[in-house]
Amino acid sequence: MDEIEKSTLPDSYVLMNKMGLDENEVARRKDWLEFTPDDEARLLELNEMAQGYATEVIEALYEHFLKFEDTRKFFENPTVLSRVKNLQKEYFLRLTKGDYTKNYIEERIKIGAVHAAIGLDVKWYLGAYNYYLRAVGERIFKAFKNNPDQALQAFFSLTKLVYMDIGLAIDTYIFQREMTISKQQEAIRELSTPVLQLREELLILPIIGAIDSQRARQLTEQLLHAIRDKRAKVVVVDITGVPTVDSRVANHLVQTVDATRLMGATLIITGLSAEVAQTLVTIGVDLSKINTVGDLQGGIEAADKILGIPVTGKHDDTLTSTN
């Protein structure tokens, strides 16, 4: 874990809020698992026993980890291995210390975030809990061999809490990965939709691929910033590479035309396919607000006319990205 900079890990309190893990949600999870005050009392009774078996169980667990190449790679450094063993011991001992409220949940979320950050797959995390439950279960039943019902109830209480931990860890994994995927998708969208400056006062926005509402909003934001920064008077948006447009995106396109006009620029759309044109007509888009030209070259020539540039049909144009 030393390889992870603390600054790269999300604040556990912030993470809890983003994941919606408030007191009501924690209570719902406990209710679903039927985790009651009686379970908490039984776990507290196991605490002294846990102090005795913790080191033995952890040593056996990490011997198991080191047998497998996929998990051994995380613990090749002896110093790291020793530190992680101590942390894991505290982690498991916390199961029998009671007070399973906000602070407990925050601790578990933080650990789940660390596991996600170092790339420890969920299957190894679940495997560790499986090993722990079996090892501790054996010890509980031995300790209460004269009272098997008490042993069973204690083991059930531990299992309930373990499954709450597992649920929290998996939720953290999923949330972290969704956030990573979202950031990657945003970066890809930004790279795939550059606003290009063809010449002074003229921008071109070539759009390729499907457009959903989120991407449409992002395109509009990029375009309006570029218009302001480059003091553009005309923008040519080429949608030759857009296969389909639904009603929400079409309406957003009209709003982009209006917003562009408010910024003091004219927007020209080129490359409308027959399918997209038919969709715009079918869904009743106000086409009177949209300037359309058949292809990109025609759009550039129309833009030149607006800018008062003589149209010769041949241009030595150099595109410059505004990003």
Residue numbers of the chain with a pLDDT score lower than 50? 1-9, 318-319
Confidence (pLDDT) at 224? 92
**Contact of 215 with 223, CB cutoff 8 Å:** no
Instruction: Give me the sign of the Cα torsion angle 202, 208, 213, 215.
Output: negative
pLDDT at 93: 93
Q: What pLDDT sits at residue 307?
A: 92
Q: How far apart (Å, rounded) are the C-alpha atoms in residues 145 and 193?
A: 69
Q: Which two tokens stand for residue 317?
A: 């144009």
Residue 137 CB neighbours (<10 A)? 16
What pLDDT is attached to residue 285? 73
Q: With CA atoms as reference, report the closest residue to 230 among 193, 206, 195.
A: 195
How much is the pLDDT for 190? Answer: 59
pLDDT for the residue numbered 92: 92
Q: Given this model, what pLDDT does residue 30 score?
A: 95
**Whole-number pLDDT of residue 175:** 86
Structural domains in the chain, sorted by start: 3-190 (1.10.490.10), 196-307 (3.30.750.24)
**Could you tell me the pTM of the whole model?**
0.60
| Range 288-311 burial, b when 16+ CB lie within 10 A, else e | eebbbbeebeebbbbbbeeeebee
Instruction: Please state the φ and ψ torsions of residue 231, each to the nearest 5 degrees.
Output: 55, 45
Query: What is the b/e burial string over 72-100, where b = at least 16 CB atoms within 10 angstroms of the residue's CB?
Result: eebbeeeeebeebbeebbebbebbbeeeb
pLDDT (0 to 100) of residue 103? 84
